[in-house]
Amino acid sequence: MLRCIRCAACLTACPTYVIDHKEEEGPRGRIAIMRAVAEGHLEVTEDAWRHVDNCLLCDACSHVCPSGVEMERIGVAFREYAFTLARSSGRAEHAPQGATGHEQGSGVPRRSIGERFAFGWLFGDLGHFRLVARLLRFYQGSGMRWLARHLGILRLLRLSQMEAMLPAIPDHFVVPAGQTVGMGEPAQIFAGCIMSTAFAPTTERTAELVAAFGCAASFPVGQVCCGALQLHGGDGERARSLARANLDAFGQSEAPIVVNAAGCGALLKHYGQLLPDDPRAGQFSARVKDVSEFLATRTALQAPREVRRVVTLQDACHLLHAQRVDRAPRSLLQAIPGLELRDMAEPGLCCGSAGVYNVTHREQSAALQARKCASIEQTGADMVLTGNPGCLLQMRAGLPPSIEVGHIVDVLAEAYCPAPEDGRSSSLRTVG
Amino acid sequence: MTGPSPQPSPAPRAREQLAAELRRIVGDPYVHAAPSEVIAYSYDGTFQQRRPDLAVSPASTAEVAAVVKVAARDSVPIIARGASSGLAGGTIPERGGIILNLARMDRIVEIDTANVCAVVEAGVITLQLQEEVEKHGLFYPPDPASSRQSTLGGNVACNSGGPRCLKYGVTRDYVTGLTVVLASGEIVRLGGKLAKNASGYQLLQLLVGSEGTLGIVTEAILKLIPLPRSRVTALASFPKLALASQAVARIMGSGILPCTLELMDGTTINVVEDFLHAGLPRDAEALLLLEQDGADEPAARRDVEAMAAVCADLGASEVRVAGSAAERDTLWQARRAVSPALARIRPNKLGEDIVVPRGQVPAMIGCIGEVAGRYGLPIPVFGHAGDGNLHPNILFDLRDPDEVHKVELAARDIFRAALSLGGTLSGEHGIGSLKREFMEEAQGATAIALSRAIKQVFDPQNILNPGKLFPTGNGIDGFLAHLPVLAGVTPG
């Protein structure tokens, strides 16, 4: 925080700043606000909390910062501090900052029951997560969805936005149970919560791709959610406990840990910072590779097949900014014969998904979604690719059906993995 | 560290009434008055900080005029700002009042290819205009290192320069028309889409570089020129700083006018390398970044080769010509990152902006080295050596009062050395609050009295960015300690 010398280099990189050019909605303003709180010039008022909490934690500002400010670390620490204050102040939810507002933390909303449920029970255990996903699938498959939409129950429960965002839940999930595909050097796959359920086919393809690049890809048993949603929501304690469970699951091996969700990858690479006292954490983080980063350093067993598509790439913030991976996905795609990769305008600008931001900050998220989708449509591409589940959902919800939305793995698998007509059913497939 | 006792802020009720009135002008979301919001409009690119009473983000010249009328009626200070990336304290609301955030006025109104000019609102980002006009084969040369975030309104207010200004001139040379809101709230249009103008006093040129003290620039007409089609860039490393500064003088005397001739010393090389990993030579004591542009590439290349030969002759350890556009971009990215990257060394920096006659660059660089030694402070130097504009940056920690005192003395000695070599205080950052105490020494009492008289005509109530540019009377001793920061644990 002390490193910020207010040069303003971050302003034009910030998605929330470029919407309206308000200093309090930009990185430099947020740093100044957090610093004023830390130094006792400012209470955590409702407005202070709101301006800081509007940050997507996309880290685009950190990426361009010449003096080395790390926004995600500062933002996460501030959220945890603010929630601790709010808890200890014991006030009602969304306590307004009124006459008695000198109490620190009075402007911070206390976590809702829903959030506490989500952070604790739902994301805390992959089994629970799969259970809910199965219920959702039942909901989508049965007439209930039609009924709920038409009776207006969703609107009543203020869930319509969230409901429209939901992906079609596939009929099977990936349940990490030590299953392995391919032969060669060992590589461990981090399955993630959303990627192993809502995007289970993509996660299977990830393992098959890793195998097609000459490795034995396995899903270590006992792995859990990475903890990013909890951390960004200010619940550092839960995030750390999930991180410890993952350290146990992935063990002391030297094998690379391959991730297909940029948001998870960014945090897994920072376990060393999250658990500074656990010597295993830094070693774990050093093994983590985004799937594109991992594949780009290896050679496939077979030459790629032709894929006739015109695609554009949406850089996930947690890949481009937080992990600084930009060339790997491009070089992989450019190596596929028949595939044309087109650049879009403002490639580094967040799509507005940002974890659960699209649910918690609907207006700003919608503005960014519209801006991103317009850039995608301008390229004339018939498919947009990305490396993160949040972006996939956000773009699917914002784009017309004529433009396909896919994970970069989906297209790479078309080029490198055995075609489905081989009749081979995936050995990884497990109904959880 | 406390500021000059600020005039008392309006009572809460008066402030609330003011906010309500301004909301009616600019709309609810564009008045920033909450406790955290006034923090966000309290600083610029220096270490100074003072909360305004409130800030507003108007969307048009008419809204700006309406806000200024309210400020004039109540005699409230009004301070215009763009990105507030300035390095002289020019947008610090030292006496409270209203911050006028012009960043929202970001429309490029027109690119007029027939009259070879652009019409822009004050909040347009410099780089955005440059990218836009280049699509038409046109060129807007002024390129402050902050061009990615600075606004054209801010560039006009500070008469900004940049590396290319060596060959192409500064912001002033491109302003042919301005829309200005006066202290009374009246709107005046000066100049036009004109290539020449000899009609009386050029008031618009008086506004350029006036740092928001004479009027508020809301729109500008900027001259454009044809885009040079070729650029050749080279990097020369020197084992000794003195050799690099001699090379600058020799090149400028050789009949070549390069597009840029930038100097970086050893400390700046290393701090930028830490951030960018651009492959700069860490063991060099100085680098010169040389560039020539032009209509045809062989001519530009010949100039660069001639400059390279001068460098080699003077003992450059290596001269590398950039082979690709990507390599050239990396070199430029490195140059632009220098100033902010210095924060990696010490928490605070005093970025100076002196100009000396070009032939005195070696002498000035020698003086800076002596001052650094005298006070035991790190003072890395970089800048536009080709036009005599250098940026010695004194690095320090504001939390250490002894060090602050040493910085004051070092800054004083550097200013005086520049003046004694026939130079001046600022080439492109402006005076703001940081250098005002030295203005009389630099310009003489008569020139300052004339300037004060002009200020009086434009702004009789002294509401436009009050206190900036002119000596306060507190004198040079303690000039840093008198600047406002939020009193507290760790200012900066």
Share of chain B above pLDDT 90, in %: 81
In B, minimum Cα distance to A101 occurs at B35
H-run or E-run covering B58: none
Over the stretch A327-354, which tens digit does the pLDDT of each residue have? 999 999 999 999 999 999 999 999 988 7
CB A43 within 8 A of CB A37: yes
Tell if the CB–CB gap between B146 and A7 is shorter than 8 Å. Answer: yes
Q: Enter the tokens of residue A242.
A: 């999930």
What's the per-residue H, E or C state across chain A?
CCCCCCCCCCHHHCHHHHHHCCHHHCHHHHHHHHHHHHCCCCCCCHHHHHHHHCCCCCCHHHHHCCCCCCHHHHHHHHHHHHHHHHHHHCCCCCCCCCCCCCCCCCCCCCCCHHHHHHHHHHCCCHHHHHHHHHHHHHHHHCCHHHHHHHHCHHHHCCCHHHHHHCCCCCCCECCCCCCEECCCEEEEEECCHHHHHCCHHHHHHHHHHHHHCCEEEECCCCCCCCCHHHHHCCCHHHHHHHHHHHHHHHCCCCCCEEECCHHHHHHHCCHHHHCCCCHHHHHHHHHEEEHHHHHHCCCCCCCCCCCCEEEEECCCHHHHCCCCCCHHHHHHHHCCCCEEEECCCCCCCCCCCCCCHHHHCHHHHHHHHHHHHHHHHHHCCCEEEECCHHHHHHHHHHCCCCCEEEEHHHHHHHHHCCCHHHCCCCCCCECC
Over the stretch B352-390, which tens digit does the pLDDT of each residue have? 999 999 889 999 999 999 999 999 999 999 999 999 999
CB-based contact (8 Å) between A163 and chain B? no
Interface A-B: count of C-beta contacts within 8 A: 124
Whether domain B108-226 has CATH 3.30.465.10: the reply is yes
CB-nearest to A32 from B40, B55, B106 is B40
Tell if the CB–CB gap between B488 and A3 is shorter than 8 Å. Answer: no
CB-nearest to B275 from A22, A42, A68 is A68
- pLDDT for res B3: 38
CB A274 within 8 A of CB A266: no
Q: Quick check: pTM over 0.80? A: yes
Min mean pLDDT across A400-414, A416-430, B192-206, B286-300 is at: A416-430
C-alpha distance from A37 to closest chain B C-alpha (Å): 9
CB B464 within 8 A of CB B183: yes
Tell if the CB–CB gap between B83 and A43 is shorter than 8 Å. Answer: no
Over the stretch B94-111, which tens digit does the pLDDT of each residue have? 999 999 999 999 999 999
B19 φ, ψ to 5°? -60, -40
**Residue boundaries of the structural domains of chain A:** 11-89, 113-165, 180-297, 309-416
Residue type, A33: I
CATH architecture for segment(s) B230-274+283-335: 2-Layer Sandwich (3.30)
B34 φ, ψ to 5°? -70, 160
H-run or E-run covering B481: none
- pLDDT for res B490: 42
CB-nearest to B344 from A33, A40, A68 is A68
Tell if the CB–CB gap between B344 and A67 is shorter than 8 Å. Answer: yes
CB-nearest to B489 from A29, A39, A51 is A39
Whether domain B346-430 has CATH 3.40.50.300: the reply is no
Closest CA to A295 of A420, A210, A216: A210
Tell if the CB–CB gap between B488 and A39 is shorter than 8 Å. Answer: yes
Tell if the CB–CB gap between B275 and A40 is shorter than 8 Å. Answer: no
**In sequence order, which residues have a C-beta less than 8 Å from that of residue A45 and are 6 or more positions away?**
A97, A101, A106, A107, B34, B35, B36
CB-based contact (8 Å) between B256 and chain A? no
Residue type, B122: A
For chain B, positions 402-431, list CB contacts with chain A under 8 A. none
Interface probe with A: pick from B1, B26, B36, B276, most Cβ of A within 10 Å: B36
Closest CA to A55 of A37, A31, A83, A81: A31
Tell if the CB–CB gap between B36 and A20 is shorter than 8 Å. Answer: no
What is the bridge-based pairing of β-strands A185-190 and B98-101?
unpaired
CB-based contact (8 Å) between A315 and chain B? no
Q: Is the pLDDT of residue B193 over 70?
A: yes
Interface probe with B: pick from A18, A21, A46, A327, most Cβ of B within 10 Å: A21
**Residue boundaries of the structural domains of chain B:** 108-226, 230-274+283-335, 346-430
CB-nearest to A9 from B149, B348, B490 is B149
Closest CA to A4 of B341, B168, B152: B341
CB-neighbour burial class of residue B296 (10 A; exposed 0-12, middle 13-18, buried 19+): exposed
Share of chain A above pLDDT 70, in %: 81
* Same fold? B108-226, B230-274+283-335: no
Quickly state the pLDDT bin for B148 (edges 50, 70, 90). Answer: very high
Rounded to the nearest integer, the mean pLDDT of chain B is: 92
Tell if the CB–CB gap between B36 and A45 is shorter than 8 Å. Answer: yes
DSSP secondary structure letter of residue B220:
E
Rounded to the nearest integer, the mean pLDDT of chain A is: 84
What CATH code is assigned to A309-416? 3.40.50
CB-based contact (8 Å) between A327 and chain B? no
CB-based contact (8 Å) between A3 and chain B? yes
CB-based contact (8 Å) between B378 and chain A? no
DSSP B99-125: EEEGGG---EEEEETTTTEEEEETT-B
